[in-house]
């Protein structure tokens, strides 16, 4: 257990949704009541917990009482990295804006808003023994550690990303920088199908890395950027435990579905998490 934190002030971000292509307005406020990170859409409170995940195709979507909010993982990762345990997130739109395709803008806004120490405890999940978890094509290797260390191995056949590994201790500034600036990615071969399915309508070469058979469509991709983005997604999905984490996690061929399943498993192993579940 540790003492929780919230924001010192509010901030507003506007942009275009990555998948919907629709304009979105998001206001992130200090939590009035310390009940975790909670999204609000049309007056419906949707806690950022694994129990409220309704879709994991291409992004993580939360839902409750007929209302949903998609692409929550980048903001959640930035909040978790900044140590923000409680926040009220009011969303006017179907998903969070794509912005730069990563979490840099969210992180900058959080830093400008400031961090305020709360008065209540927040549960902690500590990995205390080695675990090897197989979930379909995904595998997770968990080890004890004093801090939180996240790694992602990416292998996408017939692309440049066949043997990529990224990650490290989230207390290290260079690791945090790489994680925050890694943009979402997709395959050039899938672009037409995604657009036909009504997805990636807000994607551009500025906010998304596009992989080809032998390289990228983008001119400015940095080494292992897709793997670093997997680490960002993993952190954002692990935020759905509603707890602080310590341990070392290596995700091999991870995705939002398996990340959320891992978060749910960790949450079930933490008796304190159930006692601190959002009452809203």
Could you list the active site residues? 256
Instruction: Please provide residue 213's backbone torsions phi and psi, each rounded to the nearest 5 degrees.
Output: -60, -35
Query: Is there a contact between 53 and 47 (Cβ–Cβ < 8 Å)?
Result: no
Sheet holding 61-64, edge to edge: 53-55, 61-64, 67-69
Instruction: Please provide residue 238's backbone torsions phi and psi, each rounded to the nearest 5 degrees.
Output: -70, -20
Which run of H or E residues covers position 186? strand 184-187
Q: How far apart (Å, rounded) are the C-alpha atoms in residues 192 and 198?
A: 10
Query: Is there a contact between 230 and 49 (Cβ–Cβ < 8 Å)?
Result: no
């Amino acid at each position: 257990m540790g003492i929780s934190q919230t924001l010192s002030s509010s901030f507003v971000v506007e942009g275009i949704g990555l998948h919907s292509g629709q304009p979105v307005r998001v206001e992130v406020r200090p939590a009035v009541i310390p009940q975790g990170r909670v999204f609000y859409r049309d007056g419906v409170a949707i806690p950022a917990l694994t129990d409220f995940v309704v879709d994991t195709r291409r992004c993580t979507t939360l839902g409750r009482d007929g209302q949903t909010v998609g692409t929550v993982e980048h903001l959640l990762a930035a909040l978790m990295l900044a140590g923000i345990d409680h926040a009220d997130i009011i969303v006017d739109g179907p998903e969070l804006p794509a912005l730069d395709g990563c979490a840099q803008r969210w992180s900058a806004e959080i830093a400008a808003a400031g961090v305020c120490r709360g008065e209540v405890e927040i549960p902690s999940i500590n990995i205390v023994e080695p675990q090897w978890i197989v979930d379909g094509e995904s595998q997770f290797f968990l080890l004890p550690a004093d801090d939180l260390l996240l790694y992602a191995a990416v292998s996408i056949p017939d692309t440049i990303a066949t043997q990529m590994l990224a990650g490290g201790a989230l207390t290290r500034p260079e690791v945090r920088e790489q994680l925050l600036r890694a943009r979402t990615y997709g395959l050039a071969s899938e672009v037409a199908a995604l657009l036909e399915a009504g997805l990636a309508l807000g994607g551009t070469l500025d906010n998304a890395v596009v992989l080809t058979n032998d390289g990228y469509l983008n001119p400015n991709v940095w080494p292992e950027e897709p793997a670093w983005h997997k680490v960002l997604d993993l952190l954002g999905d692990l935020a759905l435990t509603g707890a602080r984490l310590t341990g070392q996690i290596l995700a091999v061929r991870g995705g939002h579905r398996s990340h959320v399943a891992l978060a749910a498993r960790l949450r079930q192993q933490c008796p304190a998490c159930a006692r601190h579940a959002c009452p809203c």
